[in-house]
Structure 1
């Protein structure tokens, strides 16, 4: 695919992302996506087979973008605690971006039960998220800064706490709580990985 076609496809996917975040999965039509992209419905149909094809590529595009941003953030740091902080801060990008992503993401999760392609894309996203967690934990154990926790279980826990915190923040509908949830998430993960809670209880 040439560069012009790739840019046009991304333009349509960005428009679909905005449309779903504002209108919801079921309400959005192919014409809505075209209108948001400021192109004709025919142009949208040229690049994608139908609405479901747009949504399948949208989920792939947005989750891959999230993963790349988060991996780039940890790659700039050298110690495990710094990588963990960078991971959490990248996940808690800012209230506006987090609100849009999780509104769209929750719409997709609601459909995933009935759509194998959505489930497969989400599985790949979580495998990528868990790989970031494993990388951080393995380094922390090598440094001696993290406790000898089970690496796979801990990688699941990291992402579960990040997503759970952000979804809970989203439901609060209060941007001022964004920093609180981010800092609380990081503190909880840091205590868990360094085993501070167990040390304090002894």
Structure 2
């Protein structure tokens, strides 16, 4: 499996860039894009707003760099998880483990990701990043499916199409999980549900029966 790519990945990222990006990511998760300002970032790292603009040029430049950085980290984490196993079922479970990393991390990611989805619909400049993120995600899922098909464990006549279904399944479960009042406690249940749903969809003979709603 090739190394994931995100647009402008060759842009040099300094420790200061990363510090500002991390502050942006947390501010987006806490306030949402509609209430987000450059001053939020400046206040978090105790610098002037001009320093933020010096490193990223514009507010959109900062937002694009932040989402690019976050998405590249997610892609790399999944890639490393897949390299640890050759068994198709274990690879599928490891992929979900790498995605369902922790309640807090997943909540932060999906709150900002949903903002990105809305932004893409209104601001075309963000579309290439979202398209590249979708490509990476679906190519990763398709590779997992193809590996399982070659091993005679998974069933798929069109891995690329089924990768879209997996993406919809994973994102859909996360959106449902976000709405849970006890989202921290329900995180393991949703991870297990996601693993079982993927394995059943792909026809894995060792996939268990559907989980009960009690978790």
TM-score computed with the length of structure 1 as normaliser: 0.91
The residue number in structure 2 matching 1:146 is 154
SS at match of 2:157: coil
Please show how residues 154-165 of structure 1 align to structure 2 within 5 Å: 154-165=162-173
What are the equivalent positions in structure 2 for 1:96-111 lying under 5 Å apart?
96-111=104-119
Unaligned runs of 5+ in 1: none
Counterpart Cα distance in 1 of 2:100 and 2:114 = 16
User: 1:87 aligned to 92, 95, 99, which one?
Assistant: 95
User: May I ask how many residue pairs the two structures share in their alignment?
Assistant: 196
Does the CA-based 8 Å contact 1:13-1:58 persist in structure 2? yes
SS of residue in 1 equivalent to 2:81? helix
Whether 2:62 is the aligned partner of 1:51: answer no
Please state how far the C-alpha of 1:38 moved relative to its aligned partner: 2.6
| Deviations 1:4-61, CA, capped at 9 Å, x for gaps | x611011101000011111111211111111122322221111011212111111111
- 2:43 maps to 1:39: no
The residue aligned with 1:191 is: 200
- Would you say 1:15 and 2:60 are equivalent positions? no
Gaps of 5+ in 2: 1-9, 210-215
Greater per-residue helix proportion: 1
Q: Distance in 2 between matches of 1:157 and 1:108?
A: 20
Q: Which runs of 4+ in 1 moved over 2 A?
A: 37-40
| Residue of structure 1 equivalent to 2:5 | none
Deviation per CA, 1:131-163, whole angstroms, max 9, x where unpaired?
111111111111101113311111111111111
For the residues of structure 2 that align with 1:135 and 1:190, how far apart are their CA atoms?
Answer: 15
**What is the TM-score with the length of structure 2 in the denominator?**
0.85
Determine the C-alpha separation between the residues in 2 that align with 1:2 and 1:109: 24
Query: In the TM superposition, what is the alpha-carbon distance from 1:89 to its structure 2 partner?
Result: 1.0
The question of whether the paired residues in 1 share the 8 Å contact of 2:156 and 2:162 is answered with: no
